[in-house]
Structure 1
Amino acid sequence: MATVTHISPMNGGGCSSGNSIGKIFGNPLFHRGVTSGFQAVSVLKAPVKPFRGHVSLERMLSASSHGRQRTQAGHTNRWQLRHPLGSDLLGQAQAERTERTMRVALNTSLRTIRTADSPQPCTHDEPPLPRLTLLASTSLPRSPRRWCLPFEFLICVLMMMCFCVYLLCSVPGHPSKATPEDLFYLLSRSVVHYNQPDVVLECLGSQWELHCPNLTKSGTLSDLYMSTRQQRARSLQDRAGSGKSGKDKSYSRPGSSNSSRDRQNGKKPAGPLVLQLSVKEATVTKEALSFALRTLYNPEACPEHWGEGVLSTAALLGLPHLFQRCLTEMINKISSSTVCVFHRVSCKFKETSLQRACERWLELYLVTELTCFIYLRDLPFELLHKTLSSPRVFAACEYQLLKTVLYWVFLQFNPAAQILPSHRFIMTFFSRAGVFLEQPVGQRFTILFRALRLHGITQRAHLEEMQQIHVFPQSWLLFIFSKHYYTLHSGGDMQVTDFSQQAVRFGMVIEREPQYCTRTIGLYGFYFLLKAASIGELDSHGFSLQRLKHWDPAMSVRACERHPFSMMTERALSYQINVQAHVHGQWQEFNSGPINQEFGLTKRTCKSQVFKVRGLSLPIFVTFALAFAAV
């Protein structure tokens, strides 16, 4: 029952009880008179909610007047009271709603949240207000009940967020601590919205939880699922018929809602079906299996490395789309470090597209790239011989192919080498006593040296090197030198019976702008300028050769002083221009075919026809094959 309280002024002036109460309650409830003191104030006019179950008048009157403790909130000039105000109804309602939500959704360790970044106590003259306590039996008006997420779902979301932060915050430069099983679980659960698994695959010592809609994308797992399901059904029928109870081979995640519901209904929990897949292929690893299973949920997922492991796993699980995608990625990623491995994989799976791509890459980059790396030792013998015998193999000159074979043979006898040694060191290795090709250890390499066009090596320095290394028998060297001698003294006449096998090749590469390249070559006293340049439109290129005079500026002084020079005014030449480049993402070859032409010293007769090709993209590999027909 409400009462009326009359407060009369005290004699003696300014420091009255009215002043103390006024400081506590403020002006709205108590007004200090100027001449007549305090007037009667009815408590019935005050709101009831602030006094209901929260703060009593006696506690407020008995509060200490030593000062109010405040806390600085953040780094700004804002101060936060240590205790809430009794008249802050909106703050009380928000606090109650927050407390109710946190009690349902979060655990105990997350309920206490500090809002002051740098708490600094500050003392004022006002007395501290009592701490506001929210009681469970408060009669404050409650808001309508809102929809809340299940507690298990919120816990799962919180765990997944923490796991994502754990993966993203790993130390840069170090491998992630996440296991293949964790990566698969993270992706699969996020795709299926944390539904219970239908199947558990036991493979490579781990358990992989799968779902039927995604399982059907794998032919092997679908067949295994159907056979295991039929076997399980027959086993249950046999047990029901015999009246015996046995343990069903199933897997259930502890604490699942389905298992608890089945136990409450008195039914036997029916967990996921367990599939067992044995792996005999050593290249199928957990990393490859995890990635292959992740593609069942996200077809656009990418592994760390495309290679034999992914291809073997795709073949094991019966994933044709992943198998073809892996083949395409491997073809696009052929390089010096992968070409040998990819070719071996193509032969293992009998994939002709990957095999042709590796062989095509070797025809262009065997001399220009692979010879410069230690990966040359992984090149099989048969593949090297096939590449050397190909008419499309590219090299700047015939000596570069001989150098590649010597490097490869050296690496076969020194498999422990970690880096490619210098050219001088390799030449010293072959300068030991005894002819290499005549010894038992070197006779099996004879077929490789016979695939080379040794008659096309005409430079004096290269011929001297062939004499210094003890690789070729004396009969081979005598045949090569005598042939050069007679050809040089006969005006360049070459005994050519097969142009495709006996023509001398010279190559050059256009790799960057400006798309223009020239090279001066000499053959038996005749010198030519090889040209390759873009003409007219940007995608058109022209290729030609021009005979040079001995006083031409393109001729070097050393070539004029140390090399022979033929003064014949007319010379018949058979030449062929071969261009290889990327066209619409595929390597294509453009060949002019053998062309016979008389080259003179005049401006009208010294140039060849221009071989034009359109639609080429960099890099462009150009090979000029030359042969002097006997007159």
Structure 2
Amino acid sequence: MLSQHPPRLDRRISGLNDRWRFPREPYLGDLLGLSQLSRATGVDIDNELKIMDRLHIPQLQKILTGAIKTKPKHGTVADVTLDCMGFKWELHQPQLFHSGTLTKLYIFALSQKNTDPLKELEKLLRAESPKEQPKMSPVKKITISLKINDPLVTKTAFATALKSLYTNETEVHMEDVLGVLASANILQFPTLFKKCVSLMKDGISPCTIQTYYLAACKYKEELLITACEKWLEMNLVPLIGKQIYLRTVPQELLQKVLKSHRLFTFSEFDLLKTTLYWVYLQLNLRLQSIPIYEAVLAFFNSFPKKCPFLERELGQKFLPVFHCLRLHGITKSKDLEDIKYINFFPEARIVRILANHYRSLESGGDMFHVKDLSTQAIRFGLLINQENKIYSEMIGVYGFFFEIKGIKHGDSSYSFYMQRIKYSDTNLPTIVYERSPVSLRQERLVKYEIRAQSLVDGNWQEFSTNTLTQKFGLIKSTSKSHTLKIETVGNPIFVTFAFLFPVS
């Protein structure tokens, strides 16, 4: 067998001095050798520092922050001056090592002074020994400069970020959290960055959804992106859809949410109304309050009838949004009349929807045009809070009538189910069967899923029956669906009943 030899040291010449290095570990924090090499060969030191930053700065931070006390001694003079944003910030070396950016700037400044940076750092470590009581800082006072081009960073937010270098208990105010997040990103201060992300996840609201989502995309923070998407999936229709903040939702985010199978809505028509409001607000930026629905209809109906809105130059950019909607799930005649009245959709699409409705009615409810439950099902929803014990809604599709129901059994126990109702039932509201066809079929095959979602301690809980297929009859033993039973302390609870009628 061949004997294995230890790695051989390789002599490399850097400027006027010889530096011993392992060939597979270039520079290894040797800033003096790096500086000499730059001057002797003309190599761009910035590029070399990027390599050094990637390979060694995190290790150096770990060593220094572990060996040096967290807080400076009382009366200790600041030995680093940070020139940034028109201010000179006085810092101490032990604290700046929590920041990857400041660590890099500090070591680079040491190398520029043609001194051995590692030797200077050794002085700092020796100064922390209790046996020595130096009266002055053991290393030379150094000035470092940092240029910030991020418009999110304010002086107040940057000051908060620098304060966090000294203590983990720094309070971050919600009005400054975006700036502090941006500052933490620039400083490469992961602890503070994660703290800001956690605060923002808990602070998502109609007035912050836009800025938080755009910041999450800018800094590629997937946890915050997901949190914004999930929050909007639940609150688009019941909450933000009724506020002027609907205007601020970015189109990219809106399209993602509309495609999600977890999206909550009271009905497909309610979702359409919300998207119509969104377009209306994009085109009327001076409005400061949400208009009534009739005003939105009148606005779109005011365009010349020769061309539908989505085929106009003004409306073509909104086409991808409305491709995400399940317009086939709108079956009420009055709602269909509203859609035709506003001259919003291309005529071919309206004709296709009406033709599919006619074919389904002629075939006893069979939905030939719908195959996939997760992407094409008709959805109805119940919003459950702590106010009532029973929640109920009557719905009708192609002459079949159902009651969707939620019951609160205790402080945290709930059950949800759907039940077929006879068209002659006296409890059936007039608004449900008015101008609606009536099917005389005794049984109807239904593919369905009941889902419930609630937010508990910042995490979403999801419950589901999974996909079920069942024949619904008119007698008691066959009229009721599977019951979804859950235990949760979340409030509110978003419950979705999604179903379609397979060909039978």
TM-score (norm 1): 0.61
The answer to whether 1:296 aligns with 2:169 is: no
2:104 to 223, 241, 248: 223
Contact 1:509 1:619 in 2 (8 A): yes
Matches of 1:555 and 1:324, distance apart in 2: 52
Map 1:158-169 → 2, pairs under 5 A: none
| Counterpart for residue 186 of structure 2 | 316
Aligned to 1:275: 144
Equivalent of 2:78, from 197, 211, 220? Answer: 197
Deviations 1:187-212 (A, max 9, x none): xxx98645432222221111222233
Match of 1:410 in 2: 280
Q: Where does residue 377 of structure 2 map in the other structure?
A: 503
8 Å CA contact 1:579–1:589 kept in 2: the answer is yes
Q: Which runs of 5+ in 2 are unaligned?
A: 1-70, 117-134
Residue identity matched to 2:105: L
SS at match of 1:428: helix
Counterpart amino acid of residue 323 in structure 1: F
Letter in 2 for 1:204: M
* Counterpart residue number, 1:563: 436
Q: State the partner residue of 2:49.
A: none
In structure 2, what is the equivalent of residue 211 of structure 1?
92
1:322-359 per-position Cα deviation (integer Å, ceiling 9, x unaligned): 01111111111111111121121111111111111111
Deviation (angstroms), 1:271: 8.4
Aligned to 1:617: 490
Moved more, 333-342 or 213-222: 213-222
Change (3 A) 1:378 1:602: same
Q: By how many angstroms is 1:289 displaced?
A: 1.0
2:464 to 578, 582, 591: 591
Match among 385, 388, 391 for residue 258 of structure 2: 388
Q: Deviations over 1:161-188 (max 9, x none)?
A: xxxxxxxxxxxxxxxxxxxxxxxxxxxx
Q: Post-superposition shift, 1:420? A: 2.9
Q: Secondary structure at the match of 2:325?
A: coil
Name the CA shift for 1:542/1:405 in 2 (closer, same or farther; >3 Å): same
Note the C-alpha offset of 1:232.
4.4
Q: Specify whether residues 326 and 608 from structure 1 end up closer, same or farther in structure 2 by C-alpha distance, changes over 3 A only.
A: same
- TM-superposed deviation, 1:606: 1.6
Contact 2:384 2:493 (C-alpha < 8 Å) held by counterparts: yes
Cα deviation code 1:365-414 (max 9, x no counterpart): 11122222233233222222221111111110001111122122222223
Per-residue deviation, 1:284: 1.8
Q: How far off its partner does 1:222 sit? A: 2.9
What does the per-residue CA deviation read over 1:405-437, in whole Å, with 9 as the maximum and x for residues that have no partner? 212222222334333333222222211113112
**How far apart, in 2, do the equivalents of 1:479 and 1:425 lie?**
27
Deviates more, 1:372-381 or 1:503-512: 372-381
Specify the code of the residue in structure 2 equivalent to 1:440. Answer: E
Write the letter of the residue equivalent to 2:155.
K
Contact residue 575 and residue 624 of structure 1 kept, 8 A: yes
Q: Which moved more, 1:380-389 or 1:554-563?
A: 554-563
Distance 1:352 1:583 in 2: 20
Cross-structure match for 1:531: 405
Residue identity in the other structure for 1:290: A
1:241-270 C-alpha deviation (Å, 9 max, x unpaired):
xxxxxxxxxxxxxxxxxxxx99xxxxxxx9
Q: Matched residues in 1 for 2:405 and 2:109: separation?
A: 69
| One-letter amino acid matched to 1:420 | I
Query: Hey, what does 1:494 align to over in structure 2?
Result: 367
With over 3 angstroms needed to count, the CA separation of the structure-2 counterparts of 1:619 and 1:336, relative to structure 1, is same
Query: Which is further off, 564-573 or 499-508?
Result: 564-573
Equivalents in 1 of 2:489, 2:498: separation in Å?
21
Q: CA offsets, 1:14-61, max 9 Å, x none?
A: xxxxxxxxxxxxxxxxxxxxxxxxxxxxxxxxxxxxxxxxxxxxxxxx
Q: 1:300 is matched by which residue type in structure 2? A: E
Secondary structure class of the residue paired with 1:596 = strand
User: Structure 1: which 5+ runs fail to align?
Assistant: 1-189, 236-260, 263-269
How far apart, CA to CA, are the structure 1 residues paired with 2:499 and 2:115? 78
**Tell me, what secondary structure is at the counterpart of 2:471?**
strand
Contact 2:403 2:420 in 1 (8 A): yes
Aligned counterpart in structure 1 of residue 327 of structure 2, from 454, 457, 463: 454
Residue type of the alignment partner of 2:228: C
Deviation, 1:513, is 3.7
Match of 2:390 in 1: 516
1:366 paired residue among 236, 247, 250: 236
Q: 1:573 to 1:318 in 2, by over 3 A?
A: closer
Name the SS for the 1:224 alignment partner.
helix
CA distance in 1, matches of 2:100, 2:222: 23
Secondary structure of the equivalent of 1:605? helix
Partner of residue 5, structure 2: none
What is residue 466 of structure 1 aligned with on the other side?
339
The residue number in structure 2 matching 1:552 is: 425
Structure 1 residues 423 and 615 mapped into 2: Cα distance closer, same or farther (>3 Å)?
closer
CA contact (8 A) 1:520 1:554 kept: no
| C-alpha displacement of 1:466 | 0.7
**% same residue:** 41
Checking the alignment, whether the CA contact within 8 Å between 1:306 and 1:330 is kept in structure 2 is: no
Matches of 2:219 and 2:387, distance apart in 1: 40
Q: Say which one has the larger Rg.
A: 1
The total of aligned residue pairs comes to 410
Write the distance in 2 (CA, Å) between the matches of 1:198 and 1:226. Answer: 14
Please, what is the CA RMSD of the aligned residues?
2.7
In 2, the alpha carbon distance for the partners of 1:582 and 1:563 equals 37
- Whichever residue aligns with residue 282 of structure 1, its letter is P
- Greater CA deviation, 206-215 or 292-301? 206-215
Higher mean alpha-carbon deviation, 604-613 vs 270-279, is at 270-279
Q: Give me the whole-angstrom Cα distance separating, in 2, the residues matched to 1:562 and 1:506.
A: 20
Does 2:312 align with 1:439?
Answer: yes
1:297: how far off?
2.5
Whether 1:427 and 2:289 are equivalent positions in the alignment is no
Q: 1:478 maps to which residue?
A: 351
Q: Which amino acid aligns with 2:242?
A: C
| C-alpha contact (below 8 Å) 2:329/2:378 kept by paired residues | yes
Conserved 8 A contact 1:307-1:342: no
Determine if contact 1:306/1:329 at 8 Å carries over to the other structure.
no
- Does 1 or 2 have the higher relative contact order (CA < 8 Å, sep 6+)? 2
Counterparts in 2 of 1:592 and 1:338: CA distance versus 1, 3 Å: same
SS of the equivalent of 1:327 reads: helix
Corresponding position: 1:378 with 2:248: yes
Q: Separation in 1 of the partners of 2:243 and 2:457?
A: 29
Partner AA of 2:79 in structure 1:
D
**For residues 149 and 473 of structure 2, what CA distance do their matches in structure 1 show?**
70
1:589-617 deviation digits (Å, cap 9, x = unpaired): 22222222222222222212212233452
What's the secondary structure of 1:329's corresponding residue? helix
Matched AA of 2:92: H
